[in-house]
Amino acid sequence: MIRLGVNIDHVATLREVRRAKYPSITDAAALCELAGAHGITVHLREDRRHIQDADVYALREMLTVNLNLEMANNPDVVALALDLLPAEVCMVPERREELTTEGGLDVAGHLAELKPVVGELSAAGMEVSMFIDPDLAQVEASAAIGAPCVELHTGAYAQWSGAARERELQRLIAAAHRASSIGLKVNAGHGLTLENVGAILALPKLNTLNIGHSIVCHAVFVGLEQAVRAMLELLASDRDSAQQR
């Protein structure tokens, strides 16, 4: 069975946009677990634009499923991961100006910097994954630095349509095939939705899909009516009690 890791960064985005105390990241994670999610994924960005340090420690404390920490190769975040000890870490590229992770990590171009970090995180017991474009050279570079796992970037597949999407799907299939044939675990994610995830299920030996944005967006629509009704009920009951006074 393909596992689902739910990325709940955008729950923290909603909180941070008001610097409020809610919505609670741990309540959101608990609901994902209750629904059957196999893991919870969060990206602790260098600029802390959504997930905060306290969030990852709170999640580590309460989760019964795996916590997957997405992180750049930044010494402060690596030190935090070594203290936090999540079950999984996924190394991603990070640029402050970007809205979301754009493109995969250039593992082949940074072998010397990445290898010791992967070794250190693995030695501490974390399963380390490289978030890479579906490129055979990047798959092989990930194996060469000792990463046991890759997460294939499905963003281009998700964004494109027609022949371009089909070509990207074939690249994803080839990358998944190569990764699994050299003993790497294969995860994938980015931009996946109920509408586009179907073809991704054809990736050979797919282990986990990490999906965030579309699930949080969908949650707005499956929950909005209920949220408005709850407020209206409260307003109606308040008016009744006010009139009785």
State the DSSP string of 124-172: TTPEEEEEE-S-HHHHHHHHHTT-SEEEEE-HHHHH--HHHHHHHHHHH
The reply on whether position 131 binds ligand PXP by CB under 6 A is: yes
Q: Return the residue of 15, 189, 203, 206 that touches ligand PXP, per CB under 6 A.
A: 189
The reply on whether position 135 binds ligand PXP by CB under 6 A is: no
The reply on whether position 28 binds ligand PXP by CB under 6 A is: no
Site string for ligand PXP, 205-234 (x = CB under 6 A): -----xxxxx--------------------
43 is catalytic: yes
177 is catalytic: no
What is the Cα–Cα distance from 186 to 169, expressed in whole angstroms? 15
153 is catalytic: no
The single residue of 38, 50, 70, 88 carrying the catalytic annotation is: 70
The reply on whether position 81 binds ligand PXP by CB under 6 A is: no
Q: Which residues does 191 contact at the CB level (< 8 Å), separation at least 6?
A: 154, 155, 157, 158, 159, 213, 214
Q: Name the residue nearer to ligand PXP (CB basis): 100 or 181.
A: 100
Catalytic residues: 43, 70, 190
